[in-house]
């Protein structure tokens, strides 16, 4: 079963969704699933060096109290499934093209989801700056990737085209928000759904194939 995961590494519900899907997969160890990261930039127009985090977040949520409520809600939702947030440590509101490039690079080396998870954790709880090449390289090394090769990759422009192609594919599919999952190229699951929803989805798809 192939699952295309359209997501952005600065999307908290994408992080929650990743952990919930992993939880469901652990409960279906006999299910042969290939997950594929599909870059989706929530704000492709973000300046190359990003924006100050607090200024961005307050503006996005329409005020400090709204921001705090939103952060509290997603933190409570993610905690039971292992998605932990410390919004006070978030370094910036970054342009995520390099982070996406790095996940695609890691995918070619069998480290796609380790890299995605490291970026989610680093950004949302570890104070890592996704616009900082040294921070990106350090997280890549933590997943077992070669530091010299990662540094050379990040200093170039390889992979940018892949990020934009994924964004364009998402637009053709009518995807306007993430996380968004396309299963077997036919079934759509939207949002950071609980593991129970995924288990029902797996069962429904498998029963269709059997019938």
Domain total of the chain: 1
Q: What is the mean pLDDT of the chain?
A: 96
Cα–Cα distance for residue pair 69/18, rounded to 1 Å: 22
Domain limits at 38? 2-210
Q: Which of 142, 135, 146, 138 is nearest to 105 (CA)?
A: 146
The model's pLDDT over 51-95, given as tens digits with 9 standing for 90+, comes to 999 999 999 999 999 999 999 999 999 999 999 999 999 999 999
The model's pLDDT over 86-144, given as tens digits with 9 standing for 90+, comes to 999 999 999 999 999 999 999 999 999 999 999 999 999 999 999 999 999 999 999 99
Q: What is the reported pLDDT for 207?
A: 86
- Examine the pLDDT at 188 and tell me if it is beyond 70: yes
Q: Helix, strand or coil for residue 181?
A: strand
- Examine the pLDDT at 211 and tell me if it is beyond 90: no
Cα–Cα distance for residue pair 109/189, rounded to 1 Å: 27
Distances (CA, A) of 176 to 140, 160, 168: 29, 20, 11
CATH number of the domain that residue 146 is part of:
3.40.30.10
Those residues whose C-beta lies under 8 Å from the C-beta of residue 39, and which sit 6 or more positions away, are 6, 8, 100, 103, 104, 162, 163, 166, 167
Cα–Cα distance for residue pair 68/90, rounded to 1 Å: 14
Lowest mean pLDDT segment, chosen from 3-7, 9-13, 206-210: 206-210
Q: Report pTM.
A: 0.96
Task: Write out the E strands in 40-118.
Answer: none
Cα–Cα distance for residue pair 48/96, rounded to 1 Å: 9
């Amino acid at each position: 079963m192939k699952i295309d995961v359209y997501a952005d590494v600065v999307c908290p519900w994408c992080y929650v969704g990743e952990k919930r899907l992993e939880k469901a997969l652990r409960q279906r160890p006999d299910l042969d699933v290939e997950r594929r990261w599909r870059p989706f930039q929530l704000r492709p127009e973000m300046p190359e060096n990003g924006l100050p985090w607090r200024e961005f977040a307050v503006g996005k949520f329409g005020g400090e109290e709204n921001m705090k409520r939103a952060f509290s809600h997603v933190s409570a939702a993610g905690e039971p499934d292992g998605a932990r947030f410390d919004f006070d440590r978030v370094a910036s509101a970054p342009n995520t093209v390099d982070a996406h490039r790095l996940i695609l690079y890691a995918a070619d080396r069998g480290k796609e989801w380790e890299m995605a998870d490291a970026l989610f954790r680093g950004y949302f709880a570890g104070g890592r700056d996704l616009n900082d090449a040294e921070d990106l390289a350090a997280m890549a090394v933590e997943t077992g990737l070669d530091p010299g090769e990662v540094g050379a990759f990040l200093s170039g422009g390889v992979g940018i085209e892949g990020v934009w192609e994924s964004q364009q594919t998402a637009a053709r599919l009518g995807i306007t928000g993430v996380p968004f999952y396309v299963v077997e190229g036919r079934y759509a699951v939207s949002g950071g759904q609980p593991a129970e929803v995924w288990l029902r989805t797996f069962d429904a798809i498998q029963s269709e194939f059997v019938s």
